[in-house]
Structure 1
Amino acid sequence: MPAVLAPATILVTGARGFVGAQVASQYLQAGYKVVGTVRSSPKGDYLKELFKGYGDKFSYLIVDDIAKPGAFDVAVKGVDAIAHTAAPFHFNSTNPDDLWVPARQGTVELLESAAKAPNVKRVVITSSTVTIVPPKSTPGYIYSEKDWNVESEKEVLTKGGAEAGPLHIYFASKTRAERAAWEFMEANKGKISFDLITLQPPWIFGPSIHEVSDVKNLNTSLAYVRNIALNPASVGKDKEELTSSLGAFADVRDVANAHVLATRSTAASNDRITIAPDAFSPQSIYDALNAGGIKAPTGFPGEEIQNPLVFDVSKSKRVLGIQYIDSKQSWIDTAQSLLDRFGPVAA
C-alpha cells in the first residue's frame, strides 16, 4: 500500500481526548487536513478554538456512540486515512461489557465504514501494550509485537468480572478490539482499499492540550502523576514500593508522532508496532522532576528501577524512524503542564 502523504485529509476519532488531541495537532503540524470526531458540539468547539491557527484545516463531526451501526459512515467520506484513538480507558468497572462492547464494536464499526469508502488508503489504530503483556509480567523477558496477552480474557471469562478485576477487564478489552481488527482484515482481504497498522503504546504521559474542565476530570495517567509526584499528602515511604517498576511508558507527543509516521511510511503495512521506550517507577519520576527544578518528593534518589518492564522497540525505530523524547524531559514536561493548568496540589 502507498504511504499517505500530506496534503491529505485524516479522520481522527476521539479527537477531544488526551491522545486524540495530540494526534490531531501533529497531523496539522505535518500539513494534513484533519476531521475529528467528538461526542458533542462543545467538545468540538474547544478543538476549533485550539486549532484556529490552522484555519479551515481542522473540522469536526459528532459521533455520539462509536459502537452504533454505521457510526462512522458519514465521517469516512472524503478522508484519505484514519487514526482511530477513540476507546474507553479506566479501571472503574467490574462489568466487562462496559469496556468490551465499545472497544471492540467501535473498532469493527470503524472498519466496516472504511470498507464502504474506496478513498481510504490506511487505517492506524491506537492499541496498547496490554494486548502484549498481562498485568503480571515475566521479569527479565523482553516483550515485542509477536506476543499476545491471552491471560486477561481467560481470567474474566473463567472467574467473572468482579473476581478477575478491572485490570484484566481493561486489558482484555484492548486485546479483543485489536484481534477483531486483524480478523476483519483477514476476512476482507482483497475486498478493501486500505491496509492496517496498530500501534502499541503503554502508559501514556506528557503535556496535555485536551479540554479538562476540572482537575477532577483528569484522565487516568495524568491524574496519577499529579497524585503521586505533585501531592505532598501521598508521599510513599517504602523503598521497594517507590523503586518497583510500574510498567513502561511513552510520551503522548511520541505516540502522536508515531501515528503521523505510520500514515506516511512506505515500509509500514499490515503490522503491529510497539511504542514503549522506557520503564518507570515512582522514584524515577521523583528523580527527573527534582533534577529539572520541579519540587517533588525525594524518596531514595538514584535508585534503579526494580524489575523494569522492557519492550523491544526496534521496529518502531527501523520502520517509522521515530526518535523518542528523553524520558526525564517527558516527566518534567508532564508535571509542568499540570502545574501550568491546575497549579500545585494544596498541602
Structure 2
Amino acid sequence: MSLPTPKNQTVLISGVNGYIASVTAKAFLEAGYSVRGTSRSKTSSEGLLKALHDYVEAGRLEIVELPDITVDGAFDKSVKGVHAIAHMASPVSFFFTDPDPVLKAALHGTNSILASALKTPTVKHVVLTSSIAAIMSTKEPPYIFTEKDWNNESLAEIERLGKETPGSHIYRGSKVASETAFWKFREANKPSFSMTAINPAFVYGPPAVLPEDPEKIAETVKPIYDILAGKPLPPPLGGSGSSVDVRDVAALMVLGVSNGTALDGERIIAAAGIGGMQQIADILNESGRYEGRGIEKGEPGKGYEAGFGFPKEGSRIDSSKGRNVLGREWIGFRESVLDAAKVFERYL
C-alpha cells in the first residue's frame, strides 16, 4: 500500500473509535494528515488500529487512552503539538433513559477540549461534529430548515420531563447543549483558531471498522444489516428521516481543517435526502445481489420520493451549503446502502 505524502500536521480526533470518527480518521490520513485519536480504552480501538495498520506502522496513527473527557484538563496532554482538532466524542443513542449523564458528557467534553485548545498555540482549527438534531424542531409546514435554525425544543422538554424525557429528546438536547457551548466559547474567548460545526442527518454508509458482534453496529446504520439478515423491517428512527453518507461527513470534517479559515464560524448541514427502512429494503431487493436471502419486501415504493430526494411539499432541509462546500453532489442513499451491505456480508 502506497501512503499519501504526509503534511507533517497532526489532527486530534476525540472518540476516534466511533462509527463516524473512524471513517473520519481514515479520511484525514488519506488527505496526508497524521492522526492522534482519543479513546476511553485502547482495547476499544484495536479494530481501528488493525484496519489502518499501514498508517500505524508509518507512525501516522496513534491512540491515547482518555477514560473521562468531562474532567478539567482532560485533553491537555493529548492536544499538545496538534495542528487541528476534530471533536467527535459524544454520546450517541436514541434510547437514553437519563438526561443528566448524557448532557454532562456532551457539555463538559466540548468545554474541556476547547479549554485545552486555547492553551495550545499550535492549534489552528477546531471542527465539531454536531447534528441536524441541533437545528430541526417542530415547525408549521411548509418550512425550509437551514443553518440559521436552532432546536429550542429538546432542552425545554428535558427541563419539563426530567428522567421521563424520551431518549430521542435526550440525544437531541445533548447536541443542542454541546453546539451551544461551542459557539458561546468562540464568542467569549475569540480564539485565534477557526471553529466550524458540521451538522449531519442520520448517517449511513460503510464503516471503516466492524465490531465482532453485529449487534454492536452503530445505531443509524445497523438497520441495513438487520434488513440484509432477513429480520423484519425495523421501526423508523424518527425525526425527519433525512440521511447522509458517512464518507461525506468525513469529507466535511477534513475540509473544516484544510479550508478552516474560510469556514470559520460556519455551521454546515450534511444531508443528502430521505432514507428509511422501506427504502433500504427496496434497494437491497432491487439490487439482485441478495436474491434468496429472505429480505423483507414491506410495501415497495411506499412513502418516499423517487431518487430518495427531499419531499417537494411540506417541510424540508436546504443542504445546498454543504454541497457547495464539498464541491460535488452528495453520495446518494442507494450507494450508501449497497456499500454498507457489501461490508456487512461478512456476518452472513
What TM-score do you get using the length of structure 1 for normalisation? Answer: 0.88
Which of 221, 244, 252 is residue 246 of structure 2 equivalent to?
252
Give 1:183-332 correspondences, 5 Å limit: 183-189=184-190, 192-227=191-226, 229-235=227-233, 247-265=241-259, 266-295=261-290, 296-305=295-304, 308=311, 310-332=316-338
Alignment-derived partner of residue 3 in structure 2: none
Distance in 2 (alpha carbons) for counterparts of 1:315 and 1:232: 38
Alignment-derived partner of residue 108 in structure 1: 111
Describe the shift of the 1:68–1:267 C-alpha distance in structure 2 as closer, same or farther (beyond 3 A).
Answer: same
AA aligned opposite 1:159: L
Give 1:131-142 correspondences, 5 Å limit: 131-134=134-137, 136=138, 138-142=140-144
Distance in 2 (alpha carbons) for counterparts of 1:230 and 1:138: 36
Distance in 2 (alpha carbons) for counterparts of 1:217 and 1:321: 34
Describe the shift of the 1:30–1:323 C-alpha distance in structure 2 as closer, same or farther (beyond 3 A).
Answer: farther
Structure 1 residue runs without a partner (length 5+): none
Q: 1:118 Cα shift?
A: 0.8
Distance in 2 (alpha carbons) for counterparts of 1:302 and 1:217: 29
Describe the shift of the 1:320–1:246 C-alpha distance in structure 2 as closer, same or farther (beyond 3 A).
Answer: closer
AA aligned opposite 2:42: S
Distance in 2 (alpha carbons) for counterparts of 1:139 and 1:286: 29
Describe the shift of the 1:284–1:187 C-alpha distance in structure 2 as closer, same or farther (beyond 3 A).
Answer: same
Contact 1:39 1:64 in 2 (8 A): yes
Contact 1:251 1:325 in 2 (8 A): yes
AA aligned opposite 1:67: T
Describe the shift of the 1:311–1:246 C-alpha distance in structure 2 as closer, same or farther (beyond 3 A).
Answer: closer
Instruction: Show CA shifts across 1:10-36 (max 9, x none).
Output: 111111111111000000011111111
Q: Secondary structure at the match of 2:64?
A: strand
AA aligned opposite 2:16: A
Q: 1:210 Cα shift?
A: 2.5
Distance in 1 (alpha carbons) for counterparts of 2:52 and 2:37: 11
Contact 1:11 1:35 in 2 (8 A): yes
Instruction: Show CA shifts across 1:201-243 (max 9, x none).
Output: 011111112251312222211223333x22434148xxxx88x
Distance in 2 (alpha carbons) for counterparts of 1:69 and 1:61: 17
What TM-score do you get using the length of structure 2 for normalisation? Answer: 0.88
Alignment-derived partner of residue 168 in structure 1: 169
Alignment-derived partner of residue 88 in structure 2: 85
* Bigger mean CA deviation after superposition, 300-309 or 204-213: 300-309
Contact 2:13 2:87 in 1 (8 A): yes
Distance in 2 (alpha carbons) for counterparts of 1:161 and 1:331: 35
Q: 1:289 Cα shift?
A: 1.6
Q: Secondary structure at the match of 1:234?
A: coil
Q: 1:105 Cα shift?
A: 0.7
Describe the shift of the 1:79–1:32 C-alpha distance in structure 2 as closer, same or farther (beyond 3 A).
Answer: same
Distance in 2 (alpha carbons) for counterparts of 1:23 and 1:45: 16
Q: 1:319 Cα shift?
A: 3.2
Describe the shift of the 1:231–1:44 C-alpha distance in structure 2 as closer, same or farther (beyond 3 A).
Answer: closer
AA aligned opposite 1:305: Y
Which ranges of 4 or more aligned residues in structure 1 deviate by more than 6 Å?
none
Contact 1:44 1:60 in 2 (8 A): yes
Q: 1:137 Cα shift?
A: 5.9
Contact 1:132 1:147 in 2 (8 A): yes
Structure 2 residue 132 is matched with structure 1 residue 129:
yes
Alignment-derived partner of residue 28 in structure 2: 27
AA aligned opposite 2:44: K
Distance in 2 (alpha carbons) for counterparts of 1:299 and 1:93: 29
Distance in 1 (alpha carbons) for counterparts of 2:76 and 2:201: 30
Structure 2 residue 63 is matched with structure 1 residue 60:
yes
Distance in 1 (alpha carbons) for counterparts of 2:34 and 2:79: 13
Alignment-derived partner of residue 39 in structure 1: 40
Contact 2:231 2:296 in 1 (8 A): no
Structure 2 residue 118 is matched with structure 1 residue 120:
no
Q: Secondary structure at the match of 1:160?
A: helix
Distance in 2 (alpha carbons) for counterparts of 1:333 and 1:211: 14
Contact 2:206 2:339 in 1 (8 A): yes
Q: 1:246 Cα shift?
A: 5.5
